[in-house]
Amino acid sequence: MKETSIYIHIPFCDHKCIYCDFYSIINHENTTSYLFALKKEIEFFAKNFSNDRKIISVFFGGGTPSLMEAGYINEIIIHLKNNFYLNEEVEITLETNPGTVDKNKLEEFIKIGINRLSVGVQSFDKDDLKFLTRIHDSQTAIQTIKDAYSIGFGNINLDLIFNLPNQTKEKWLKNLEISMELPIKHISTYSLILEKGTILNKMVLDGKVKIQDEEHDAELYETTIDFLTKNNFIQYEVSNFAKEGYECIHNNSYWHYKDYLGFGTSAHSFVNGKRWWNYSSTKFYIESIKSKNHAIIGEETLNKSEMQNEFVMLALRSSGLNLSLLNKNFGNDWLIKNNDIINLLIENKLMIKKDDKLFLTSKGFAICDEILAKFV
């Protein structure tokens, strides 16, 4: 059976953060009709893609999925089980914002089968949280993680953002140090990125906020890699670090170029070399599901060259490019064509070749985008 992952988008939020470009809404009037549409969409795609597939991960993203009651999330999980074959050890992740859950709610999430939490902390610094317009404080974030661990969540991720305005190396290290005191198995660290259409982007354009330069950003990133690897976290992707055996299965589905199905507003799917994506608008999504049973607004079928490029880029961004697998799927042309570039990267200690795999070094990860551009 073909290993496949499922993403569920829950768009509802209680507040829109200034840096966020994911589709979310603060109006909760359509939660019931949205759930009905989700179920209908799941049924539609299950008819075509359920027979020969084993679901290895389910990821509830948003928005703020943890805003919803456990019963709401449970209805979706049950519907998935009724329409797809879920692996016995399926990883089910719920994105969780501090301030939206208490101990009782976390216990309910465990009971319905959530076995991995991804907690959107972003920072433990009071001023940074205020700048990011987060609704929680540092102590609430810490307590949320401790509560989750105490009631049985053994697989917890923590999200942090670096290179915020006025964020020094010392301030960033303090975030990492606090993280290491918490019972987490995974940590995702992202550089602050300006996305078009966000409040933050407009603030920068208006001169109200100044973003720190690339040199400082690179220093903080290299500091992150050094600090976390010394604390026994393995870097298995550009932004993701995990204790051994706790690499996110869902993340790896993307990085290892496996098939995935996305349900809900703005969700993307990729199956058998074809990619499609849904309406972002909740209203259009629900109306489209009612009339067509799906909400696809765009699609593309990749040719072999495009698939090869994506396969290579994703592999190099994560745990390395398996050259035997590359040759099996696409032939040896890419390796021959890029041999000189590869040798130069190895010579400059930006890449390593070991056991028939190519890996970026920590130094290479720091300029990952620049390196990957050489291969496109």
**pLDDT confidence of residue 122:** 96
Burial class (CB in 10 A: 0-12, 13-18, 19+), 293: middle
State the fold for domain 2-255.
Answer: TIM Barrel (3.20.20)
Instruction: Tell me the pLDDT tens digit for each residue of 281-304.
Output: 999 999 999 999 999 999 999 999
Tell me what pLDDT residue 112 has.
Answer: 98
Along the 376 residues of the chain, how does pLDDT read in single tens digits? Answer: 899 999 999 999 988 777 777 888 888 889 999 999 999 999 999 999 988 899 999 999 999 999 999 999 999 999 999 999 999 999 999 999 998 999 999 999 999 999 999 999 999 999 999 988 888 899 999 999 999 999 999 999 999 999 999 899 999 999 999 999 999 999 999 998 777 777 787 877 778 888 888 889 899 999 999 999 999 999 999 999 999 999 999 999 999 999 999 999 999 999 999 999 999 999 999 999 999 999 999 999 999 999 999 999 999 999 899 999 999 999 999 999 999 999 999 999 999 999 999 999 988 988 898 999 998 7
Question: For position 212, what pLDDT does the model report?
Answer: 80
- Parse the chain into domains and list their residue ranges: 2-255, 321-373
- Which pairs with CB-CB distance under 8 Å and at least 24 residues apart come from 65-69? 65/8, 65/10, 65/94, 65/95, 65/96, 66/94, 66/95, 66/96, 66/97, 66/100, 66/101, 66/105, 66/109, 67/10, 67/12, 67/13, 67/14, 67/97, 67/100, 68/10, 68/12, 68/31, 69/105, 69/108
Written as six digits, the tokens of 39 are 């179920």
Beta bridge partners of 366: none
Contact 73, 114 (CB under 8 A): yes
Residue 34 contacts residue 267 (beta carbons within 8 Å): no
Unique residue bearing structure tokens 């016995």:
88
Can you tell me the distance from the alpha carbon of 108 to that of 49, in angstroms, rounded to the nearest whole number? 30
| pLDDT tens-digit map of 171-220 | 999 999 999 999 999 999 999 877 777 778 787 777 888 888 888 989 99
Structure tokens at 58: 């389910």
pLDDT score at 251: 95
Residues 9/61, Cβ–Cβ less than 8 Å: yes
* pLDDT at 41 (0 to 100): 98
Q: 360 pairs with which residues across the strands?
A: 351
